């Protein structure tokens, strides 16, 4: 469910079609809607407006325009809903790869704008959460590897057991008010210099 106070940017070269989208958004309670009819210079508009959601409507998309828009969507981390009149499998795959949250072929109706907007925001949030979780998991794995290497170095150089090496890293981190991975990285770096 989208909040009514979202800032929404509509990119549409066709004034009649954009008015359908705008009317659907206003009826759904969205009052902060900006419509632009020119694709060129859209990056500056996005930078200035900082929209929460972007809706792109292209009646008859050509390859160059689609590629330009896909490059744009890759750069902008926002929910994006795209309406097109016709499409092919390659264009759909490109849109998904570029981060388009909702890609609607031949479905521009005033009543459908709000549910599609809601879906785009929901899918974007779910995908963003998955990306964060993946980044956190990778970071945790890297930290664990560094800590394991540091434990191995301490075990070898100081003749400690694995538990003692871990306890030394943990105690040093607490004493210095640093993360254990930072202390472990220092041990690994120092060992690299000494060997």
Q: Which of 3.90.1490.10, 2.70.70.10, 1.10.10.10, 3.40.50.10490 is the CATH number of 136-194?
A: 1.10.10.10
List the Cα angle 57/61/64 in 5-degree steps: 120
pLDDT tens, position by position, 6-25: 899 998 888 888 888 888 88
More confident call, 113 vs 39: 113
Block residue for tokens 């254990």? 180
- pLDDT range class, residue 77, cuts 50, 70, 90: confident
Task: Return the H-helix or E-strand segment holding 34.
Answer: strand 32-36
- pLDDT range class, residue 4, cuts 50, 70, 90: low
Whether residue 61 has pLDDT greater than 70:
no
Which range of 80-84, 118-122, 138-142 scores highest in mean pLDDT? It is 138-142
Asked whether the whole model's pTM tops 0.75, one would answer no
Measure Cα distances from 102 to 54, 65, 72, 78, 110 in Å: 11, 18, 15, 12, 16
d(CA 166, CA 185): 13
Q: Is 62 helix (H, G, I), strand (E, B) or coil?
A: coil
What local confidence, expressed as pLDDT, does residue 37 receive? 86
Q: In terms of Cα–Cα distance, which of 24, 31, 28 is closest to 7?
A: 31
- pLDDT range class, residue 117, cuts 50, 70, 90: confident
- pLDDT range class, residue 153, cuts 50, 70, 90: very high
Domain-wise residue ranges, the chain: 7-133, 136-194
Block residue for tokens 């949250």? 101
Q: In terms of Cα–Cα distance, which of 79, 116, 74, 108 is closest to 94?
A: 74
Query: For domain 7-133, which architecture applies?
Result: 3-Layer(aba) Sandwich (3.40)
Helices then strands, each counted (H, E), the chain: 7, 5
What local confidence, expressed as pLDDT, does residue 58 receive? 81
pLDDT tens, position by position, 78-109: 888 888 877 778 777 877 777 788 888 876 78
């Amino acid at each position: 469910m989208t909040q009514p106070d979202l800032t929404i940017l509509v990119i549409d070269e066709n004034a009649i079609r954009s008015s359908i989208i705008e009317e659907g958004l206003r009826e759904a309670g969205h009052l902060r809607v900006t419509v632009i009819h020119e694709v060129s210079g859209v990056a500056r508009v996005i930078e200035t407006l900082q929209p929460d959601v972007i809706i792109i409507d292209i009646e008859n998309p050509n390859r160059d325009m689609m590629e330009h828009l896909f490059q744009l969507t890759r750069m902008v981390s926002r929910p994006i809903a795209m309406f097109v009149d016709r499409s092919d499998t390659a264009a759909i795959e490109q849109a998904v790869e570029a981060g388009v949250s909702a890609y609607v072929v031949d479905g521009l109706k005033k009543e459908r704008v709000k549910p599609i907007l809601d879906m785009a925001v929901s899918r974007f949030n779910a995908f963003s959460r998955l990306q964060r979780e993946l980044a956190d998991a990778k970071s945790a794995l890297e930290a664990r590897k560094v800590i394991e290497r540091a434990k191995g170095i301490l075990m070898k150089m100081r003749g400690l057991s694995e538990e003692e090496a871990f306890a030394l890293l943990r105690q040093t981190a607490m004493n210095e008010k640093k993360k254990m991975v930072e202390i472990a990285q220092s041990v690994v770096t120092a060992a690299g210099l000494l060997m």
